[in-house]
Amino acid sequence: MSQPGDYTVGWICAIRVEYVAAQVFLDEEHEGPASVSQHDNNSYTLGRIGKHNVVIATLPFGEYGTTSAATVARDMIHSFPNIRVGLMVGIGGGAPSESHDIRLGDIIPPTALLTALVGLQCRYERYGHKLEEAVDDVLEKNKKLKRRYKRPNTNNDRLYRSEVVHPQTNEGCAAVCDPSGLVLRSERDEDEDNPAIHYGLIASANQLMKNALHRDSLAAEKDVLCFEMEAAGLMNHFPCLVIRGICDYSDSHKNKEWQGYAAMIAAAYAKDLLYQVPLHTVQAEKKLSDVLSGKLNILLLY
- In this predicted structure, the answer to whether residue 24 has a pLDDT above a threshold of 50 is yes
- In angstroms, the CA 238 to CA 76 distance is 9
Examine residue 65 and state whether it is found in any structural domain, yes or no: yes
Question: Quick check: helix, strand or coil at residue 144?
Answer: helix
Examine residue 298 and state whether it is found in any structural domain, yes or no: no
- In angstroms, the CA 192 to CA 266 distance is 18
Q: By residue range, what is the domain housing residue 61?
A: 4-293
Examine residue 301 and state whether it is found in any structural domain, yes or no: no
Helices 259-276 + 16-24 axis angle, to 10: 40
Examine residue 215 and state whether it is found in any structural domain, yes or no: yes
Give the least confident one: 120-124, 270-274, 286-290.
Answer: 286-290
Examine residue 72 and state whether it is found in any structural domain, yes or no: yes
pLDDT digits (tens, 9 = 90+) for 237-255: 788 889 999 999 999 998 8
DSSP structure class, residue 145: G
Examine residue 205 and state whether it is found in any structural domain, yes or no: yes
The total number of structural domains that make up the chain: 1
Question: Quick check: helix, strand or coil at residue 201?
Answer: strand
Examine residue 300 and state whether it is found in any structural domain, yes or no: no
- In this predicted structure, the answer to whether residue 300 has a pLDDT above a threshold of 60 is no
Mean of all residue pLDDT scores within the chain: 89
The pTM for the full model equals 0.92
CATH classification at residue 168: 3.40.50.1580
